[in-house]
Chain A
Amino acid sequence: MDKNGDIALTEQNHRLFEYKDQRITAEQEQAILRADRKTFWTLRKQVGDPIADVALPILNNSGVNGRVANLLTGLSNDPIKLNQLGVDLMIEHGKAVTRDYEKCSGNVPGLLNPEQVAQYHHDVFLKHGIGSSLLGSDGSWLFGGTLFNLPASLYRPIWCRACDFTGPKVGATQGN
C-alpha cells in the first residue's frame, strides 16, 4: 500500500495481469520427463515465466545472449553434454518453481526472483563442472544475473524485469 492507502503499483505489480498460474502442469511435467526442453520452455513462456525468455534463445542458440551463453559453458562443441546441462537446469527450475508456489514465496507464487535463479544455476554448474575451464571456478559468475559476482538483483532490469521480488511470503501464516 502507498501512503494514501492505495495499492502501490510497482512495475512488477503493473505486470501482474500477464502472469498465469505458475504451477508446473502435467504437460510441463511430461516434457521434463521426456527431457524435452523446447516444449517445457515454450509452455513456461505461455504462462508468463520470464526465465523462458532467457532459456529459449539459449536452447535455440539464437541471438547474442543465447549464443554467448552457450559459448561460455565451454560445451559448444559437445551437444550431448550441453543438452544434459540444459535438462538439469530445466529440472531444477521445475523444482524451484514448485517449492516457491507451495510455500508462497515472494509476490507471485511460483515466480522466481533473480537470487533463486542464480542459486540453482550455481548448483547445477558446479555439478557439471561448467566454467572450470574458463575461470578455475564454478562459473556461476556468468549466469543467473550474477555476472562478476554482483548482486543478482542488480541485473534485474537487464535480464529479468518480470522476475519476482524477494518480498515477504504472501501466503505465510503462523504454523503453516
Chain B
Amino acid sequence: MIRTILSSVAILSVTTSQLVAKELHLGYETFCLPSHYDTLDLTKGSLFTMIGLDDEPHRGSFQFFIPAVEVKQAIKSYNAKNGEFEANLKVNVMMSNSFEQERVTSPNYHADVLRLSESYSEASIEHDEELGVYRVSSFSSPPPFIIWHTLSQQPFLTRAIPDKLDDYYLGYCSSSQAVPGGSSGTSCDYNIADGDFLIEVGTSEENLLLQNELTSFVKRRLNELKHEC
C-alpha cells in the first residue's frame, strides 16, 4: 500500500519537476528557476500563522543548487570537483532586513575568529600553504578539522579588524573525512546581502578563493532568474 502511494507521488513529482520551471515568490520578487536546479522551497511559510508554526511569518527562504558545470562556464578557474562529488553551487535566499544584513556582513561579524577571542580563545589553527588560507576551529581536536572557519589572513589576538568582512573571512566549513575510507570533500558557505535578501553561498573550500567572482555570479544569476518568468 505504502509503495503504491509512494510510486504515485514519485510519478507525479517526476512529471511536474521535469516540465515546469519553479516559480517562487519571496518578498516582492518572483524568481523562476530552471527545473534542473535542485530546489528546496521554503517560501510558503509566510502563508501560515497558526499556533505551533514559525513565529515570524514574514520570513521565508528558498535554496537551490547551480550545477558545477554551469558555474565553470561562467568562472573558468572554478573547480567543478569537490573530492569525489560535484562542486554544485548552493544558493540560499532568505528574506532579511537591513539590521540583519548589516550585522551579518559587518567586518566585526567574525572578529572573534580573527582575534581568537570568546569561543575561539583556545581555538586550534591550521595553515594551508597550498591554498594560502588559515583554518580556525573552536573544537579541541587537532587538524584535520571536521568543522572550521577559513580565513585569508592569519588570526592572532591583537589583529586589527579589516575594513570589510571579505578582506579576511572566506567561509564556514565542514568536512566528511570522518568516514574511514569514505567520501571526502568540503562544504563551505558565506553570506552576502542583496536587496531585501540575505544570501548564503555554498561551495568547496578551494572555490572560496574565488569569492569575489562567485558573489558577482550569484547576484547576476539571481537577477536573471527574476526575468525568466
State the A residues within 8 Å of B (CB): 10-11, 24, 26, 29-30, 32-35, 68, 72, 80, 83-84, 87-88, 91-92, 94-95, 98-99, 102, 113-115, 118-119, 122-123, 126-128, 134-138, 140-141, 146, 148-154, 156-157, 161, 165-169, 172, 174-176
- Chain B residues with Cβ below 8 Å from A128 are 183
Q: Is the CB of A29 within 8 A of B139?
A: yes
Q: Which of B74-124 contact A (CB under 8 A)?
A: 85, 88, 90, 92, 99-100, 102-103, 106, 108-109, 112, 119
Partner of B65 from A98, A126, A166, A174 at Cβ < 8 Å: A126
With the chains together, A33 CA to B140 CA distance in Å? 11
Q: Is the CB of B48 within 8 A of A102?
A: no
Q: Is the CB of B13 within 8 A of A33?
A: no
- Chain A residues with Cβ below 8 Å from B53 are 151, 153-154, 156
Q: Is the CB of A115 within 8 A of B61?
A: yes
B4 at the interface (CB under 8 A from A): no
With the chains together, A74 CA to B85 CA distance in Å? 19
The 8 closest A-B pairs by CB, nearest first: A153-B54, A138-B38, A151-B45, A122-B40, A95-B174, A165-B55, A136-B14, A35-B178
The interface on chain B, measured as residues whose beta carbon lies within 8 A of the other chain's beta carbons, has a size of 57
Given contacts A113-B54, A119-B63, A148-B9, contact A91 B178 (CB under 8 A): yes
With the chains together, A10 CA to B50 CA distance in Å? 12
15 A/B residue pairs, CB under 8 Å, sorted by A: A11-B51, A29-B140, A33-B141, A91-B176, A113-B54, A119-B63, A123-B187, A126-B88, A127-B183, A135-B14, A136-B14, A151-B54, A166-B54, A166-B56, A174-B103
For the A-B complex, the count of residue pairs with Cβ-Cβ distances under 8 Å equals 159
- Chain A residues with Cβ below 8 Å from B10 are 134-135
**Of all chain B residues, which has the CB nearest A134?**
B10
Q: Is the CB of A122 within 8 A of B52?
A: no
- Chain A residues with Cβ below 8 Å from B154 are none
Q: Chain A: interface secondary structure?
A: helix
With the chains together, A80 CA to B65 CA distance in Å? 26
State the B residues within 8 Å of A (CB): 2, 6, 9-10, 13-14, 17-18, 38, 40-42, 44-45, 47-48, 51-56, 59, 61, 63, 65, 85, 88, 90, 92, 99-100, 102-103, 106, 108-109, 112, 119, 138-141, 146-147, 172, 174-176, 178-180, 182-183, 185, 187, 202
Q: Is the CB of B44 within 8 A of A151?
A: yes
Partner of B99 from A24, A156, A174 at Cβ < 8 Å: A174
Q: Is the CB of A91 within 8 A of B174?
A: yes
With the chains together, A148 CA to B117 CA distance in Å? 44
Q: Is the CB of B178 within 8 A of A175?
A: no
Which of B40, B146, B175, B176 has its CB near the most chain A CB atoms (within 10 A)? Answer: B40
Partner of B45 from A29, A72, A83, A115 at Cβ < 8 Å: A115
Q: Is the CB of A152 within 8 A of B52?
A: no
**Of all chain A residues, which has the CB nearest B53?**
A153
A44 to nearest B CB, angstroms? 15
With the chains together, A168 CA to B55 CA distance in Å? 9
A70 to nearest B CB, angstroms? 13
